[in-house]
């Protein structure tokens, strides 16, 4: 917590605005819209809810096709299933670990050839790093397919001077407890399409028609954010820049002390982008360094240090076993290779330098017992 949350929470109590909607919600929406440079924002109960609303706004119906990044958390794709639509997964490319423009173009070309273009493309900005949006936008514009940016992990990141989540037709952010700022649970839908955003507000509040009684003409959702949680979000937003600075500092420390290890490579930052470094992610090539990724994860776990695999590609998940998938290249499955080698290290903004260097020294100690390594523990 930033330390200022109670001010906004107390304001909500004193004004008796406890339920969904209220002054904090309205202000939080305005502050997010102003921060990222869009015309409107709608605060909702989760990032998943925001993706679901975006699909509804793009008229995704049962049987429709939606293209989606494969290297991501399942919450990116679940709303496709909510709408009864069919996901098609697009592989990553090695520079950003995000959606491969060449796989996307191949998939769209094939979809056009059979007369079934997707209703939308959901692009994820993984671990705070923006995808190659210029290439992806050019391809999608060529086929007139709208883009939803899943920027759940990348609030505070930018691509060529534009805030992550503001380049496509709709963007979404998450304020889950593990994100760079949190409302404990919540999300935001952003767009420059104000008419669509008013529709989003309508759908998120149970789609209640204008009438002197409860009248409903279409399916709505209970997706609006609580005024209390929005107050927490407003306080968190005040320290977003500090959080980004701290996450980047943590990443840079890891990279400085660990990048010299044989077989270790860090997730790079694409030119003309600025990553919030939500999580520090790296690759461990066992053949190149003699270090087993799983053995390292187990070693850290025994020391009560939680590190994790990177996301398991969705096209390899049992839930999506029958979903089509387009690889980056012929016999080149980048997402699968990243999952095979990738780990995420502890990266919380609240980490002390002592905690950070405990992780670094633990990794150095582990690697020093393996072949091809000689170094000094700090």
Please list the active-site residues.
179
Rounded CA separation 124/122 (Å): 7
- Map tokens 């996901």 to a residue: 87
The Cα 282–Cα 258 span in angstroms is 10
Rounded CA separation 210/294 (Å): 57
DSSP string covering 164-185:
TTSSSSEEEEE-BTTSSS--BS
CA-based radius of gyration for the chain: 21
Indicate the helix (H) or strand (E) that contains 318: none
Hey, how many other C-beta atoms are within 10 angstroms of the C-beta on 38?
20
* Helix-, strand-, coil-residue percentages of the chain, each rounded to 5: 40, 20, 40
Distance CA 150, CA 148 (A): 6
d(CA 234, CA 180): 13
Q: Which of 23, 22, 20 is nearest to 44 (CA)?
A: 20
Write out the H or E segment, with its range, that includes residue 258. helix 240-258
Distance CA 54, CA 196 (A): 9
**In 184-290, beta strands by DSSP E:** 187-191, 264-266, 273-274, 280-284
């Amino acid at each position: 917590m930033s330390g200022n949350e109670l001010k906004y929470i107390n304001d909500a109590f004193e004004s008796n605005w406890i339920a969904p909607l209220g002054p904090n919600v309205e202000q939080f929406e305005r502050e997010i819209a102003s921060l990222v440079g869009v015309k409107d924002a709608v605060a909702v109960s989760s990032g998943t809810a925001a993706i679901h609303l975006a699909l509804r706004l793009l008229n995704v119906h049962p049987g429709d096709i939606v293209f989606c990044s494969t290297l991501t958390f399942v919450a990116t794709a679940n709303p496709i299933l909510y709408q009864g639509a069919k996901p098609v997964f697009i592989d990553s490319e090695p520079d950003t670990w995000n959606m491969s423009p060449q796989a996307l173009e191949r998939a769209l070309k094939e979809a056009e050839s059979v007369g079934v273009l997707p209703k939308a493309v959901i692009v994820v900005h993984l671990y705070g790093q923006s995808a190659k949006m210029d290439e992806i936008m050019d391809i999608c514009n060529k086929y007139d397919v709208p883009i939803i940016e899943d920027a759940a992990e990348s609030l505070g990141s930018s691509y060529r001077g534009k805030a992550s989540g503001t380049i496509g037709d709709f963007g979404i952010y998450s304020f889950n407890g593990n994100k760079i700022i949190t409302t404990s649970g919540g999300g935001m839908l952003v767009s420059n399409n104000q008419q669509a955003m008013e529709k989003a507000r309508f759908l998120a509040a149970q789609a209640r028609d204008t009438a002197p009684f409860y009248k409903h003409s279409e399916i709505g959702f209970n997706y609006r954010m609580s005024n209390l949680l929005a107050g927490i979000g407003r306080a968190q937003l005040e320290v977003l820049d500090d959080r980004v600075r701290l996450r980047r500092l943590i990443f840079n420390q890891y990279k400085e002390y660990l990048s010299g290890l044989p077989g270790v490579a860090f997730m790079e930052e694409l030119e003309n982008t600025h990553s919030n470094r939500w999580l520090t992610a790296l690759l461990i090539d066992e053949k190149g360094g003699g270090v087993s990724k799983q053995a390292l994860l187990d070693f850290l776990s025994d020391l009560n240090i939680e590190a994790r695999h990177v996301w398991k590609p969705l096209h390899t998940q049992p839930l999506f076993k029958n979903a089509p998938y387009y690889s980056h290249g012929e016999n080149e499955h980048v997402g699968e290779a990243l999952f095979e080698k990738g780990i995420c290290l502890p990266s919380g903004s609240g980490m002390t330098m002592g905690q950070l260097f405990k992780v670094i020294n633990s990794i150095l100690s582990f690697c020093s017992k393996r072949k091809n390594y000689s170094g000094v523990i700090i």
